[in-house]
Amino acid sequence: MTNVFTCSNLNKSYRGKKVLEDVSLALEKGRIYGLVGNNGAGKTTLMRLMMGLSRPDSGELTLLGESTEKGLMSARRKIGAFIETPIYNGMVSGRRNLEMLCALYGVKDKQVPQEMLNLMGLGTRGGQPVRHYSLGQRQRLGLAGSFVMDPEFLVLDEPLNGLDPSGVKEIRELLLQRQREKGNTMLVSSHNLAQLNLLATDYIFLHKGRIIREITAEELAAQCKGYLSLRVKAGQARAAL
């Protein structure tokens, strides 16, 4: 299997307004895709359709080679997702929230919740109620939750939001390390284009619900290079030298 996700002619409307229009896409295994677009472009909607949080009005999709309803449900249990604002029980600890996620995904290793807390820099905060967490700490907990099942594919919606500069660097390096060591595929949306530039191998540009461009990071860098072109006669060139 070379593609972890494909879709063909996906359409989605809310209250009569078209949010995604004829979206066709293929995400190759082992790549990090930056999903770029203005607010309302359809980025989060596309991710919600991937994860079964919404249903398309029309079109087809496959995840990890599965396309039937039962197969998609099974595939989604192998995908780590962080979409919009992660919802946790604020009255219980971060560790307890992760324990409940592990139970939901069938993760039997009792050490995983604490390992994920340590991985995300929350090792000393795991026993405290989530309602006392800062925005950045909630973001870290959301990322920890997306890692508990050791996913093959990560779908991350604005994962760097609310993090301080050192936290952004830490999480970015963690994602890169995971891609190097485990070959994970990632779809990452972010308004922080400078940071996305340090992470993505490929870009997908969405505008008003349609994909307007797919390009590799190398191709984009080559097209964005600035240069000054001068045309002079041979004699002028020698004089300039």
Q: 111 versus 225: which is more confidently predicted? A: 111
**Nearby residues of 32 by Cβ (< 8 Å), 6 or more positions away:** 175, 176, 179, 185, 186, 188, 199, 200, 201, 202
CA distances in angstroms from 110 to 73, 113, 168, 183, 226, listed in the order given:
24, 7, 28, 25, 53
Distance CA 63, CA 78 (A): 10
pTM of the model: 0.88
Pair of tokens at residue 170: 């830490």
Average pLDDT of the segment spanning 93-121:
94
Find where tokens 């800062």 sit.
134
- What's the confidence (pLDDT) of residue 1? 59
pLDDT band at 87 (very low <50, low <70, confident <90, very high): confident
Average pLDDT of the segment spanning 69-93:
89
The C-alpha angle 68, 73, 17, rounded to 5 degrees, equals: 80
Query: Mind listing the pLDDT tens digit for each residue in 136-149?
Result: 899 999 999 999 99
